Structure 1
Amino acid sequence: MQASAAPQIRTLLLTDLVDSTHLVERLGDAAAAELFRAHDRLVLELQRRWRGRLIDRSDGLLLIFERPIDGLGFALDYVRGLRDLGRDLQLKQPLQARAGLHVGEVLAWENSADAVRMGAKQLEVEGLAKPLAGRLMALARPGQILLSATAEPLAHRAARELGERGELLVWKSYGRWRFKGIPEAQEIFEVGEPGLAPLRMPAHTPKAWRDLPLWRRPVALAAEALLLACMTAGAWFLAQPKPAIAFNERDWVVVGDLRNLTGDPRLDDALEQAFRIALEQSRYVNVLSDMKMRETLQRMQRKPDVAVDRALGSEIALRDGARALLLPTVAEVGGRLRVSAEVIDPHTQTTVYAVSADGKGIDSALGSIDEVADGLRAKLGEAMQSVQKTSVPLPNVATPSLDALKAFAVARNVTSTAGDREQALGLYRRALQLDPQFALAHADMAHLHASLGELGQAREEWRKALSIPQRLSPQERLSVELMLLQYASAPEVYQRKAQEYLALYPDDSRIIGRFAVNYWHQYNDFRSAEMLVRRLLKPQYERTGISRYSVGIYLLGQEKYEAALIEFRRAREAGFLGAGELYARAYDARGLHADADRIYLATPAGRSGWRDEAAVITWMDRGQPSRAAEAAAAWASKADGINDVQESLRARAAIASLATLTDQGDADRALQELLSRLNAKGAEADAIYSPISIELRLYAGLLAAYRNDRAGVAEALRSTEGSSVVRDYPTVAQLHQVVQAEQERLSGQPQLALARLRPLVSEDTALVVVHWALLRAAQAAGDADVAQAQTRWLATHRGRVFAENTTADVLRFLNAWASRQASSRLQEGQASR
């Protein structure tokens, strides 16, 4: 047998049939055998439905799932199925099970065929996740499903996949519990259906008990009473408690400015950055980012470079909901270099405790930082086992060179203050000259390039960082892998890996935001994107203005106009004055074009009026195709001038759309120009983002279908046949279905097109173009009711028309035109009545 190469994140479900031995004794062997055969059929059916793999069984079950929602779906159906089975067999006692659900790392391996023949299980699963799931199951009451703090948010967020039943579930938290053999306290949750689940606090067992404060435990209460009886007035000061902070897992800390008392300037920025890097390896402690602290200082009307000392750091902590302030110091004491850090209670500004480490000479500084950071994590409540597991020495995870670290720290400061791009990149390059193995510098350069839309350079730097994996922390390595997956793999692969990452690091704002964008661009799922990004609307996260703007986009895509406008306004109030197009579209969607212009012109992007893609969509929507054509031509010329291959292709798609849909130009020539550019530049565009050329070819097929050009449609399908992009990217797959439906309509088989499209429009994630194609198929089939319903949908779902964003983002041209046409038809129909 061979173990998997590395631990994998999986969902484990353990169940136990309540009083099964007593049940067998009461029923007798024959009746019990019939019961367990029926039980096995139920389990097999649920395995298929929820994609679970049965690892072990006796009186209970051990199953493994890829996703927490699948494990929860199995557990809920299993509880209900047992109840129904008991009723069907007319048992005198209810048939119930306990269940524990957890997400964690496991090692899995296949046993050899010989071992399986001798009675071994086909698959073995081991790891700390397994006993933790077992402890949850053992703690559960009959009929109760308990979840760990890792499984609950992932399952809760995906509960909508359970349909209407998911909205009726009750979710309860029972606080933190201690399990025998598990070093850290665990928060546990229950989920269940009213009437089926107990929805009650579990009872203590010898192996599980609530993690209550000492003063709330019965023995402690008795001792306190005795102590109070014995205390005298003269001894009151002896009983004063030492300062403490009620710090919980994933609480936040503020890191104040390093006090450098050595006089050596190399230590100023370098050690402060090293201290942050060391703390950020923790899954237990969250560190308020530099950018967030600068935002808070700006709100306080303080200069961004002011020293964050005890008083100012405490105020920042109180404003941003951080539990503690950490003040690091480096000094020469008795001929040795001492690194120390105080933990400050921000409410009282008193030192709760301090940790220090001494070393010989400046070269000892990074080792001392490691020692101090580990000590602080333990003081704040993190289990030492976790500290040892997640701590990588600073020389390994960052750099052994203080000069390189200083250049890196200054580069981060420049980046976080929106400083000069070239200055920041120059500092990162200087850090890499001093230490060519400084992987974190490559990762930071990649993030800077990505933030500026320079995806090719970003991917190159991420690859360089990943080529030095031994110089990245486990978290940073997973983060870099995710960044590369976002542009180089199927969305489903990225989603699975992102869920695994957030199970381990649930407060990483960068990954949460990108995960939300993935739902938006790749799945057209505005609701899931909204739920994700709302997690970032907390005082501890930086750039909440951008997060609020994103929430506004996702609400616009759900036609919640007033709610979207509120979030867009809050984004402005929070200081985000960037992209304003979709804020303006919330007004355009309701025909308030003057308000839309006012909003857009007030943003940096709109100061010169509507330009490029935004202008094309605006004038198409407002019924001014000649202005849209002028904007498209100017856009194409600009993109060619700066040699932006993606923008050039998208501009040609806009020109072809206008020529085809509104007779603004020669449609044959425009479509041929688009396809010629695709043949010449498609590979170059795909090197940046692989789905682009396939979506553009399908879009060209769609425009050909509009012109009843059967050859053009066939060519689009032929050129994309067998493409992995069509298979792996949900929005491209939908577009492919639409082009196939148009081919069926053109070949005189509109009923086949209707049958193909109807299942797609039943989903909230259907593209606008699916509704448009269904309208055309219904008209060809003579189905007036379906045609009228789709006309109304296109005319009224204006938020989706504007907010929809696919891989190449060219469908918005057709969306705007189709919606305007539908609105005109409805108005004409109403006028003729």
Structure 2
Amino acid sequence: MDQAAHAPQVRTLLLTDLVDSTQLVERLGDAPAAALFRAHDRLVLELQQRWRGRLIDRSDGLLLLFERPIDGLGFALDYMRGLRELGRQMQLNQPLQARAGLHVGEVLLWENSPDAVRMGAKPLEVEGLAKPLAGRLMALARPGQILLSATAEPLAHRAARELGERGELLVWKSYGRWRFKGVPEAQEVHEVGEPGLAALRMPAHTPKAWRDLPLWRRPVALAAEALLVAGMAVGAWFLTQPKPAIAFNERDWVVVGDLRNLTGDPRLSDALEQAFRISLEQSRYVNVLSDLKVRDTLQRMQRKPDVQVDRMLGSEIALRDGARALLLPTVSEVGGRLRVSAEVIDPHTQTTVYAVSADGKGVESALASIDDVTDQLRARLGEALQNVQKTSVPLPNVATPSLDALKAFAVARRLAATTADREQVLGMYRRALQLDPDFALAHADMARLHASLGEVAQAREEWRKALAIPQRLSPQERQMVELMLMQYDNPQAYFRKAEEYLALYPDDFRTLGRLATNQWHQNNDFRAAEMLVRRTLKPQYERILISRYMLGTYLLGQERYDAALAEFHTSRAGGFSGWAEMYARALELRGQFREADRIYFGSAAGRDGWQGDAAVMTWTIRHDPARAAAAARDWQAKAEADGDVLDSGRARAAVATQAVLAHQGDARQALARLLAAIDANGVRSDALYPPYSVELRLYAGLLSARLGDRAGVAEALRRTEGSGILRDYPTVAQLREVVLAEQERLAGKPQAAIARLRPLAGKDTALVAVHWALQQAAQAAGDEAIARAQTEWLASHRGRIVTESTTSEVLRFLNATLLADQARPEARTR
């Protein structure tokens, strides 16, 4: 944390949650929902001022602090009434309601530094057991219900007269004692509300809250002697189970500190620390903060990345990143035996909550001991024993029985996080595989490295090798490898598989981000991409700044320019400068070309100026066709010199686009060269990316249509007819419909082209090319209404035009030309 927390202070906490807010946004649409939430924010601000509350956090709900319980209750009552009135004003077809939990307890408060706040941190941090207890009350409440703890109720009840006449009409109810998951003691639950507004009925049991009833009041079936005995036995079993000594909930996060090796054996340090992580990460109950995130946080703390993460430093990392506990593993020799142990540290106090250990004989016992220790930890943190048993696979099976191979693997992972030396990292992974040829996790890691470098063929090869040894992968890792292979082979099956995977592992932020990108590239669905990437905006994600950049892209594709620029700015201010093309495009759309150059040239991709496809886009948008054509030729020459078959084909498509649409060169010759390249390299390119040659062939057909070459259009359609790519890749299927419509237009059947394209154009996921081709067909048919509507669509969707980036991405060049054609004369120069 940025400043030391003060001693615990007693405060009133109010947590609220807006009921069914996600479904409400989906039903209303973005613009009406935004208007609703702006009105909601005005209501909250007014009530804060009235009741002297401090807003700490917000998402679908609110977390507020008050000095007195009566202030918190007054806010809650007015909030419930205000929501109902707001729903009426907005003419919603359902009541606008929230649930609320009010509790009084000790909390730790500290102010974040101005630098941390600028980086996205909250001004005030609040922690302590009182916070999850208020959260449990809120989650238990029915819609429109305000639940109070036994601490808050008498204090608020005594002061109710301060609410005036309304305070005398309030109904106060007690619902007895309840058990909350993660809270050791049963809690008395109360409700207060206004008749006609409040639920005023018993809360319903949830998986995390249930009534603490005596046995004699439980269902009548317990009267049977056998079931009574069984029930008592089960009850006794639960009473003997260890309860978490900190308020740890399912999917909470932990920081794993550096392993202390007290044996003097250097083989154990890196190897066992990595083994501890691998074993613990099998849990779907406990989330482990990644090594990369820990390194990122250390950098923000201005600490060296190799500094020892001990009790003090690990606690600070946990508090900064919202982790509930710090785990400190140790390996030592005790009485001639090898002991592996782990302490669970409360990061607020840096005290040991409890410790677990396992002993074994000799170094070879270490991996089994780690499995034992992590199983104990998971149970102590509250995970059900049957889940631990179900998901725990012994380390030799999910990693390697060889400590030397595990050490090489750990070194490779560390190098991958700290160096750009590809061969050095791959060399260490290969060393691990020499020591254990069946080390499937090493193959999976190598595949990830290749994929991150754009080396698709090598990545697929390594993933297939990993999957060929399924017994040596954890269930999660096996599903992940299958998912990655599907991404390249069958995207629609990939989307279905990803949903199943994320239902089990909802906090796998990288998969969420990847799925968002695929919704953008393969489905042209900016709204779905936005919803997915928003789920990754968590302090525990090491790539949150990349997520913010991608969110900016998806917002720009929905014409939400101010929001997009805000996300781009936040990403850049936080330190991300890996690429910045879409940030620059957003500025270009506002005519800020110099600022766009400054932003792009300050990124890793733009330090040598505009290059490759980005250069072609830039000079086309800025209405400089000669420079765009030169950039396309330079890009083609470089791609062919590098042997990059994918970029070479795309560059030829860019050259052909400039020749056909911007009249920069011999159009028919450029198109012929593009088709020859597709024929020559199709097998190689499709092995890297299956839809590649089909999309390029259809794009060539589209360019042929612009030349009036009906034979070229027919050939493109003939060569792609019946392709499985059209079934698996929706945007490629849309492109074929565009080419078919162009064929109909050239044949003097523009009405048939209109009939083909209008259903597609009515969808949010329609390609820009669909609207463009519909405009052309309507003009040919003399249908001014349709032509004008499509012209207006193109003029009002400039953000979509620059961000659309599907499959092989060749449609970007057509889009850039469309945008240049719209440009005002005064905006055509830098």
Common fold: TM-score over 0.5: yes
Matched with 2:500 is 500
1:427 positional shift: 0.4
2-side partners of 1:165 and 1:740: how far apart? 43
Structure 2 partner of 1:679: 679
Quote the Cα distance in structure 1 between the aligned partners of 2:601 and 2:345: 47
1:431-580 → structure 2 map (5 Å cutoff): 431-489=432-490, 491-580=491-580
Letter in 2 for 1:333: V
1:779 aligned partner:
779
Q: 1:169 to 1:650 in 2, by over 3 A?
A: farther
* Shift in alpha-carbon separation, 1:412–1:176, aligned structure 2, 3 A: farther
Query: 1:110-121 counterparts in 2 under 5 A?
Result: none
Cα contact 1:291–1:417 (8 A) shared by 2: no
Q: What is the deviation of 1:350?
A: 0.7
AA matched with 1:730: P
- Kindly provide the amino acid, as one letter, of the partner of residue 466 in structure 1: L
What is the TM-score when the length of structure 2 is the normalising length?
A: 0.73
State the SS of the aligned residue for 1:807.
coil
Q: Post-superposition shift, 1:401?
A: 0.2
Unaligned runs of 5+ in 1: 1-68, 77-163, 178-183, 187-197, 221-240, 829-833
SS of match in other structure, 1:308: coil
Indicate whether 1:717 and 2:717 are aligned. yes
Counterpart Cα distance in 1 of 2:206 and 2:588 = 58
Q: In the aligned structure 1, how far is the partner of 2:198 from the partner of 2:730?
A: 38
Q: 1:618 to 1:355 in 2, by over 3 A?
A: same
How many angstroms does 1:663 deviate by?
1.1
- 2:342–2:373: 8 Å Cα contact kept in structure 1? yes
Indicate if the aligned counterparts of 2:181 and 2:249 stay in contact, CA closer than 8 A.
no
Residue matched to 1:114: none
Equivalent runs, 1:771-810 vs 2, <5 Å: 771-810=771-810
The one-letter amino acid paired with 1:350 is T
Could you tell me how far 1:591 is from its partner in structure 2? 2.3
Give the Å deviation of 1:293: 0.3
Provide closer, same or farther for how the CA distance between residues 400 and 827 of structure 1 changes in structure 2, counting only shifts above 3 A.
closer
Q: Does 1:251 align with 2:249?
A: no
Alpha-carbon distance in 1 for matches of 2:396, 2:198: 50
How many Å separate the matches in 2 of 1:550 and 1:535?
A: 12
Pair 1:167–1:599, CA change in 2 (3 A):
farther
Q: CA deviation at 1:168?
A: 9.1
Within the alignment, does 1:618 sit opposite 2:634 as a pair? no
Label 1:519 to 1:242 Cα distance change in 2 as closer, same or farther (>3 A).
closer
Residues 167 and 631 from structure 1, CA distance in 2 versus in 1: closer, same or farther, beyond 3 angstroms? farther
Deviation at 1:823, TM superposition (A): 4.2
Q: Distance in 2 between matches of 1:165 and 1:531?
A: 23
Give, in angstroms, the shift of residue 756 of structure 1: 1.0
Cα distance in 2 for partners of 1:315, 1:576 equals 23
- The Cα of 1:218 is off from its aligned counterpart by 6.9
In structure 2, the partner of 1:295 is 296
Counterpart of 1:698 in structure 2: which amino acid?
L
Q: Cα gap change, 1:706/1:169 in structure 2, threshold over 3 Å: closer, same or farther?
A: farther
Structure 2 CA distance, aligned partners of 1:473 and 1:625?
Answer: 54
Answer yes or no: is the 8 Å Cα contact 1:694–1:725 preserved in 2: yes
Structure 2 SS opposite 1:348: coil
Question: What is the Cα deviation at residue 452 of structure 1?
Answer: 0.8
- 8 Å CA contact retained: 2:181, 2:209: no
Per the TM alignment, residue 211 of structure 1 is displaced from its structure 2 partner at its CA by 4.1
Q: In 2, Cα distance between the equivalents of 1:209 and 1:738?
A: 52
Q: Give, in angstroms, the shift of residue 827 of structure 1.
A: 11
In the TM superposition, what are the counterparts of 1:276-355 in structure 2 within 5 Å?
276-355=277-356
Shift of 1:623: 1.1
Aligned to 2:581: 581
Provide the C-alpha distance between the structure 2 equivalents of 1:525 and 1:167, rounded to a whole number of angstroms. 28
1:753 aligns with 2:746: no
**Is the 2:244–2:382 contact (alpha carbons within 8 Å) kept by the matching residues of 1?**
no
Asked if residue 359 in structure 1 is aligned to residue 367 in structure 2, the reply is no
Instruction: Name the amino acid aligned to 2:441.
Output: L
Tell me how far apart the structure 1 counterparts of residues 531 and 213 of structure 2 sit (CA, whole Å). Answer: 42
Question: Aligned partners of 1:171 and 1:495: how far apart in 2?
Answer: 33
1:148 alignment partner in structure 2:
none
Deviations 1:525-545 (A, max 9, x none): 111101111111111111211
* Equivalence for 1:695: 695
Residue pair 1:176, 1:185 contacting (<8 A) in 2 also: no
Q: Alpha-carbon deviations, 1:524-583, whole Å to 9, x = none?
A: 111110111111111111121111111111111111111111111111122211111111
Q: Equivalents in 2 of 1:168, 1:425: separation in Å? A: 58
CA–CA distance in 2 between the matches of 1:352 and 1:321?
A: 18
**Matched residue type, 2:612:** D
Q: Which amino acid aligns with 1:767?
A: L
In the aligned structure 1, how far is the partner of 2:281 from the partner of 2:420? 24
Aligned identity (percent) is 68
Kindly state the Cα deviation for residue 604 of structure 1 after the two structures are TM-superposed. 2.2
Matches within 5 A, 1:43-58: none
CA contact (8 A) 2:243 2:380 kept: no
Find the counterpart in structure 2 of residue 728 from structure 1.
Answer: 728
- Structure 2 matches for 1:27-176, cutoff 5 A? 175=139
The code of the aligned residue for 2:816 comes to A
Alignment partners' CA distance in 2, 1:501 and 1:252: 19
Are the counterparts in 1 of residues 525 and 765 from structure 2 also a CA contact under 8 Å? Answer: yes
3-state SS, counterpart of residue 536 of structure 1: coil
Inter-partner Cα distance in structure 2 for 1:167 and 1:609: 54
Aligned length: 629
**CA displacement at 1:202 relative to structure 2:** 8.7
Return the letter of the residue paired with 1:769.
A
| Residue matched to 1:408 | 409
Partners of 2:753 and 2:201 lie apart in 1 by: 54
- Paired with 1:826 and 1:722, the residues of 2 have a C-alpha distance of 47
After TM superposition, give the deviation of residue 790 of structure 1 in Å.
Answer: 1.6
Instruction: Look up the match of 2:174.
Output: none
State the AA in 1 paired with 2:586: A
Contact 2:772 2:790 in 1 (8 A): yes
Are 1:658 and 2:665 matched, yes or no? Answer: no
Please, which runs of 5 or more residues in structure 2 have no aligned partner? 1-19, 28-90, 100-135, 142-179, 183-196, 216-241
The answer (yes or no) to whether the contact 2:591–2:827 under 8 Å persists in 1 is no
Query: For residues 43-102 of structure 1, what are the alpha-carbon distances to aligned partners after superposition, in whole Å with 9 as ceiling and x for unaligned?
Result: xxxxxxxxxxxxxxxxxxxxxxxxxx9xx99xx9xxxxxxxxxxxxxxxxxxxxxxxxxx
| Post-superposition offset of 1:642 | 0.6
Letter of the structure 2 residue corresponding to residue 774 of structure 1: L
**1:478, distance to aligned residue in structure 2 (A):** 0.1
Q: Distance in 1 between matches of 2:563 and 2:554?
A: 10
1:815/1:636 CA distance change after superposition, 3 Å:
same
1:419 positional shift: 3.9
Matches within 5 A, 1:374-453: 374-453=375-454
1: CA distance, partners of 2:645 / 2:299: 39
Deviation digits for residues 152-200 of structure 1, max 9, x if unmatched? xxxxxxxxxxxx99999989797479xxxxxx979xxxxxxxxxxx996
8 Å Cα contact 1:544-1:574 kept in structure 2: no
Return the alpha-carbon distance in structure 2 between the equivalents of residues 461 and 395 of structure 1.
20
1:272 shift after superposition: 0.5
RMSD: 2.9
Distance 1:168 1:655 in 2: 57
Deviations 1:625-665 (A, max 9, x none): 11111101100000000100000000000000011011111
- Distance in structure 1 (CA, Å) of the matches to 2:654 and 2:455: 23
CA contact (8 A) 1:754 1:774 kept: yes
- Between stretches 712-721 and 595-604, larger displacement belongs to 595-604
